Amino acid sequence: MSNQKPQSENQRDIEEGVRTDFRNTMSYGSYLDLDRVLSAQHPVSVPEHHDEMLFIIQHQTSELWLKLMLHELVEARRLLGEDDIGKALKCLARVKHIQKTLTEQWSVLATLTPREYAQFRGFLGSSSGFQSFQYRAVEFILGNKHEGMLKVHEADPKAHELLAKLLHEPGLYDVFLAALARRGYEIPEEILSRDVTKPWTFQEALVPVFKEIYESEDTQWSLYQACEDLVDVEDNFQAWRYRHLRVVQRTIGFKRGTGGSSGVDFLKRALDLTFFPELFAVRTEIGN
Ligand code: HEM
Ligand SMILES: N[C@@H](CC(=O)c1ccccc1NC=O)C(=O)O
């Protein structure tokens, strides 16, 4: 206490034990490979537009969070495959927080005015978020499979390989339904052996299964919780899509997208997609 600077100096002493020499030991920057991360921002506008840095960092941070989200979803799927519902729920809880962060982050980009964006948009060429392989990977594992999307990634073998793998593997929901079948719930065989490369479509036969789970929340708490987590994940995903749509609308209005789509109208149609339709349908059936 006594040999510390007085409060009036308003500066904290560096304690004696604090390490300062990193010539031969691991440091913060070397562990995180910050040299590479922080030298990966390359504005393409000429002369360089001040706001392009915001645009780049918004996308790069989104891609980092998408990377973690996929990592957690793959693990949640593995754990469900091993009937470890409790640990899978832990992963899904993290996924939900990542989604919230991704959605809140739109407010930073919303500070970009239409004119600022128009001043460097031309330099982006035909690049577009539509080409984000990690976003597509997350959509695939959540069940929105689309073989045609692979074509976009033909020039990037690693991305193509990842997406092809996820396309052919069962999604999170497929694996969850198989876990329910192992616990004795009546999941029709056609559903369990479906062609997983196709997008999930509404299956009426699952509604009574979920009704049973929702009506036995006292004894089937973890299954009930898993269902509710999936509903949260879908809700959060839609919230991200909606914020994207609104930010796009306020920055480019109804211009066509750099990726070649109609723009806002194309994005609007994604709001009609659903990952877990039976979990929403069951709500119509629930009484007291
Ligand atoms: C001013 C900012 C942005 C504008 C004007 C914009 C615009 C668009 C447009 C018009 C599309 C449709 C495809 C096309 O024709 O290009 C699109 C798709 C997409 N964008 Fe953005 N975007 C913006 C920011 C972002 C950010 C920050 C991300 C985060 C990663 C992102 C991710 C995506 C994704 C994943 C798609 C594909 C969506 C789907 O398949 O439904 N965008 N964007
Ligand atoms: N599609 C956007 C361009 C765009 O937003 C973008 C361009 C390059 C890299 C990522 C992008 N983000 C999302 O689509 C546009 O039409 O303005």
Decide: 144 in ligand 1 pocket, CB within 6 A: no
Q: Could you tell me the two tokens for 30?
A: 């070397």
Ligand 1 pocket test: which of 130, 163, 268, 275 has the largest number of ligand atoms within 8 Å of its C-beta? Answer: 130
Decide: 109 in ligand 1 pocket, CB within 6 A: yes
Question: How far does the centroid of ligand 2 lie from the alpha carbon of residue 30, in Å?
Answer: 32
Binding residues: 55-59, 117, 121, 244, 258
Q: Could you tell me the two tokens for 44?
A: 């393409």
Q: For atom 39 of ligand 1, which residue has the closest CA?
A: 130
> At 2, is the pLDDT very low, low, confident or very high (cuts 50, 70, 90)?
low
CA dist., res. 50 & res. 135, Å (int) = 27
**What are the pLDDT digits (tens) for 128-169?**
999 999 999 999 999 999 999 999 999 999 999 999 999 999
Rg (CA), the chain: 23
The class level of CATH for 49-252+271-285 reads: mainly alpha
Contact 262, 232 (CB under 8 A): no
Judge whether residue 96 has pLDDT over 90: yes
Index of the ligand 1 atom closest to the CA of residue 139: 40
What is the arithmetic mean of pLDDT over 120-134?
A: 98
Question: How far does the centroid of ligand 2 lie from the alpha carbon of residue 248, in Å?
Answer: 9
Question: How far does the centroid of ligand 2 lie from the alpha carbon of residue 60, in Å?
Answer: 12
Which long-range CB contacts under 8 A does 59-67 form with residues at least 24 apart? 59/129, 61/105, 62/102, 62/105, 63/132, 63/134, 65/98, 65/101, 65/102, 66/102, 66/132, 66/134, 66/135, 66/137, 66/138, 67/134
The reported pLDDT for the residue numbered 177 is 98
What is the arithmetic mean of pLDDT over 79-91?
A: 98
**What are the pLDDT digits (tens) for 168-190?**
999 999 999 999 999 999 999 99
Contact 160, 137 (CB under 8 A): no
Percentage of the chain modeled with pLDDT above 90? 96
**What are the pLDDT digits (tens) for 24-73?**
999 999 999 999 999 999 999 999 999 999 999 999 999 999 999 999 99
Using DSSP, state whether 113 is helix, strand or coil: coil
Using DSSP, state whether 170 is helix, strand or coil: coil
Percentage of the chain modeled with pLDDT above 70? 99
Index of the ligand 2 atom closest to the CA of residue 121: 17
Domain ranges for the chain? 49-252+271-285
Q: What is the DSSP letter of 156?
A: -
The reported pLDDT for the residue numbered 217 is 86
Question: How far does the centroid of ligand 2 lie from the alpha carbon of residue 141, in Å?
Answer: 23
The mean pLDDT value of the chain amounts to 97
Question: How far does the centroid of ligand 2 lie from the alpha carbon of residue 144, in Å?
Answer: 21
> At 288, is the pLDDT very low, low, confident or very high (cuts 50, 70, 90)?
confident
Judge whether residue 3 has pLDDT over 80: no
Ligand 1 pocket test: which of 244, 245, 267, 274 has the largest number of ligand atoms within 8 Å of its C-beta? Answer: 244
pTM of the model: 0.97
Phi, psi of 145 (to 5 degrees): -75, 145
The amino acid occupying position 55 is F
